[in-house]
Structure 1
Amino acid sequence: MKVEQRKLSEIKPYEKNPRHNDAAVDAVAASIREFGFKVPIIVDPDGVIVAGHTRWKAAQKLGLEKVPVIVAADLTAAQIRAFRIADNQLCSLASWNYELLPIELAELQGMDYDLGLLGFDQDELARLLDPGVKDGLCDPDELPQPPDEATTRPGDLWLLGEHRLLCGDAGKVEDVDRLLEGAKVHLINTDPPYGVRVEPRSNNAIVAGNSSFPKELPRMHHQAFDVARQGPKRATTKKLRAKDRPLENDFLKPEEFQRLLYAWFGNMARVLQPGKSFFIWGGYANLGNYPPVLEACGLYFSQGIVWDKQHPVLTRKDFMGCFELAFYGWREGAAHRFFGPPNALDLWQVKKVNPASMIHLTEKPVALALRAMQYASLQGENVLDLFGGSGSTLIAAEQTGRRAYLMEIDALYCDVIVERWQKFTGRKATRKSTKLKEAKA
């Protein structure tokens, strides 16, 4: 069988070709560009295509002058007509092994290969690479109590399987670079301070002076009224718990908070791949200060996702609070990808964690991070959370086959994150190059 190079202008399409192939031309052209023209076009003695119409169109698109051809001189006219049909139909009889195919795709992805060159559309890849949600050894929302004294020290880097956690500052370039160590970021899911003075409401916090509720006029808040009516509160525990302290960077003047937003969002934009998505959590108070900073940093704000917490919260406002927002968008510079269903809503109804059992003041259920990852990333990709908090992003990444890169400034909550992961997976976390004792419960 002889393969010869022939001018594209000398090859003619079969006018009665029954196969529709225009939709495949771009994918085949990309394949030829990547791998070369490895499969010749088959023509009859008159130069009319027998098999390879899509490759011929792709060659035209690529501007090729010559292509490899095989002349089917040994076939009769009837055989040539039959082969045109059989060549296409026989291919459709084969099917994929859906146990082995995802493994091959995941390994290619791990080699940083562009899976878009394989002919699958993005929705197909998302389905093939998504292993679903894996169970752990305990409830994904279960959290350990923080230790009395932190095991973690500022600057400590934890390795949790394929995940990483740094006790550092989200606003510092050097901390983010150390956390990532060159890894690409395919998704950001993070919950920074909202700048709304979130205060602890526990008796411990009131007694310690960490809550302003007793200082308010009786009619401004239910706890202030309760204090005025019943007298001073008594501490519930002998020692202050992590959640009895105000949030870091949440009690700032507007101009200082704005400066931090530029540092935080600028760091995110610097490392997020073009076209990749972000979910940055906030509240209605952030509708004014988030969008201009996002735009200035090159992060396109597409829309707000409303989280219906299904659990009203008493506030100092006229209306009880029952929602928070995820500011959703992507880094500019490339087209973004969405892997969610076509009927995905911008209202997420997920019950919040019971306040009585919360370890972190702004603890989020894992289901929120799961949804963000399933809608905007693929298995094996990297998810960045610069405000690790209680570690919900980490657990969601563990459940869905993503790699999580977490930053948390509070050493006590770093201990919580590590212990939470260890309990969920049954595995041990380590410091980089140094074994780390399991965090005290």
Structure 2
Amino acid sequence: MRIERIPIERIKAAPYNPRKDLQPGDPEYERLKRSIDRWDLVEPLVWNRRTGNLVAGHQRLKILRARGDTEVDVSVVDLDPQDEAALNVALNKIGGEWDMPKLADLLSELDAQGFDVTLTGFDAKELEKLLALEAHEAGADPGAQVDRAEELREKWGTERGQVWAIPSKTVPGRSHRLMCGDATCAEDVRRLLNGAEPRLMVTDPPYGVEYDPTWRDDAAAKGLITPANRRRGQVKNDGRVDWAEAWALFPGAVVYCWHAGRHASTVQASLESAGFEIRAQIIWAKDRMAISRGHYHWQHEPCWYAVRRGQSAEWIGDRSQTTLWKIGVLDVGDTDTKAHGTQKPLECMARPIRNHKGDVYDPFLGSGTTMVAAERERRICYGMEIDPAYVAVILERLTGMGLSPHRVTRDEA
């Protein structure tokens, strides 16, 4: 153990500290203050040289600052952020009162990053009870109101560069994050993730098929197809296929990427160029065909399942699953004109989430289906969407589930 005396101004309070923040007048605060006034600091604070964060002793530091101390003895450690957070919990477990949402948030984040959270001193049963303590069931999904996109954009005031936090009901103490930004821009991705490292990417990017649904209106008017086969939402950047720039900015290990069958080889090459190895091709077998202008009407969509070279897939699914997923076609309303042009059923996004550990990332969130699936599966999602109107659609959809989005300021981010 290395003890040093350092200026108090060098010490930063850990922003994640899950202990309840005592205030002057609180009985526990006053007891601790009397003890320090009588015997001084008989046990050094624990300080992480690498980050500058205080690991243990936040209440004692507050009292020392209040009485005007300028230097303090600290036990110095040199830890990465993961180990620092785990040691914080382990050292604080003995006494004091927890801020339960913060503790659940911290333990959930450590668990999502693959850290052995039992090292914090909580056993498996304690962890299970703790993380489920304030959890609620996800609200019903009201669907995406793409037909109201511009109206909703005006309502929510969505603009490029905004970051939104959406406190989860099923993961107590944690929030989903949504940014109106560019998934190929490193600064946008950095702001969205804010230091988090989601392990799993589940995404449905623009397909490179120049999707234009307006021809269906003409066909319906001529009686060639029924109104129920129309879907109106258009897709930005739908002339592009290779999203290697976006894949390269994903910090995790596992990818599920839906794509157009005729561009499968290009999507595969883009994933491989970003360091991923293809493990399987999933086929979504629809229960009905999609009317098209080709000789064959499409009744399936493929998805590449890939894992970063040299890393674990962290599979938690069972061994009975196959690559053929028989999932019913999305059914939103009686005419389906409210839906995003290429929106997937929730199960297409939920199944990968159930099969792997960790938080979820979607660089092309579209109408928000991946985030809705994550909330229902008790996971946290980080989503990027470039179109402000679709960001508003997502916010309205999540609000309809009983969640309460709020703008993140630059200071909070």
TM-score normalised by the chain length of structure 2: 0.60
Change (3 A) 1:191 1:388: same
The Cα shift of 1:203 comes to 6.6
State the partner residue of 2:67.
Answer: none
Change (3 A) 1:391 1:225: closer
Change (3 A) 1:334 1:147: closer
The Cα shift of 1:285 comes to 1.4
State the partner residue of 1:388.
Answer: 365
Q: Which amino acid aligns with 1:188?
A: M
Change (3 A) 1:311 1:203: closer
Q: Which amino acid aligns with 2:148?
A: P
Equivalent residues, number: 281
The Cα shift of 1:342 comes to 0.8
User: Is the CA contact 1:141–1:365 (under 8 Å) kept in the aligned structure 2?
Assistant: no
Correspondence list, 1:7-18, <5 A = none
Change (3 A) 1:310 1:141: farther
User: Is the CA contact 1:141–1:392 (under 8 Å) kept in the aligned structure 2?
Assistant: no
Moved more, 401-410 or 284-293: 284-293
Tell me if 1:427 matches 2:409: no
Q: Which amino acid aligns with 2:179?
A: L
Deviations 1:12-71 (A, max 9, x none): xxxxxxxxxxxxxxxxxxxxxxxxxxxxxxxxxxxxxxxxxxxxxxxxxxxxxxxxxxxx
**Helix, strand or coil for the counterpart of 2:208?**
coil
Q: Which amino acid aligns with 2:187?
A: E
**Helix, strand or coil for the counterpart of 1:185?**
coil
The Cα shift of 1:172 comes to 1.0
State the partner residue of 2:204.
Answer: 191
State the partner residue of 1:267.
Answer: 249
User: Is the CA contact 2:207–2:239 (under 8 Å) kept in the aligned structure 1?
Assistant: no
Bigger radius of gyration among the two: 1
Match for 1:246 among 234, 240, 243?
234
Change (3 A) 1:245 1:396: closer
Counterpart Cα distance in 2 of 1:340 and 1:141: 28
Counterpart Cα distance in 1 of 2:263 and 2:142: 26
State the partner residue of 2:53.
Answer: none
Q: Which amino acid aligns with 1:427?
A: L
Change (3 A) 1:336 1:136: closer
Match for 1:155 among 157, 161, 174?
161
Counterpart Cα distance in 2 of 1:399 and 1:310: 24
Change (3 A) 1:194 1:183: same
State the partner residue of 1:45.
Answer: none
User: Is the CA contact 2:281–2:303 (under 8 Å) kept in the aligned structure 1?
Assistant: yes
Match for 2:182 among 165, 169, 174?
169
Counterpart Cα distance in 1 of 2:248 and 2:114: 27
Q: Which amino acid aligns with 1:143?
A: A
User: Is the CA contact 1:108–1:115 (under 8 Å) kept in the aligned structure 2?
Assistant: no
Change (3 A) 1:203 1:365: closer
**Helix, strand or coil for the counterpart of 1:289?**
helix
Change (3 A) 1:282 1:245: same
Counterpart Cα distance in 2 of 1:108 and 1:135: 20
Change (3 A) 1:331 1:134: farther
Tell me if 1:371 matches 2:372: no
In the alignment, structure 1 segments of 5+ residues that lack a partner are: 1-103, 207-222, 230-235, 237-242, 435-441
State the partner residue of 2:85.
Answer: none
State the partner residue of 2:22.
Answer: none
Change (3 A) 1:175 1:114: closer
Counterpart Cα distance in 2 of 1:117 and 1:388: 30
Counterpart Cα distance in 2 of 1:108 and 1:134: 18
TM-score normalised by the chain length of structure 1: 0.57
User: Is the CA contact 2:364–2:383 (under 8 Å) kept in the aligned structure 1?
Assistant: yes
In the alignment, structure 2 segments of 5+ residues that lack a partner are: 1-102, 168-174
> What is the percent sequence identity of the aligned residues?
27
Deviations 1:133-188 (A, max 9, x none): 974333x2623353434221111111111001101111111111111011011100
The Cα shift of 1:359 comes to 2.0
State the partner residue of 1:347.
Answer: 324
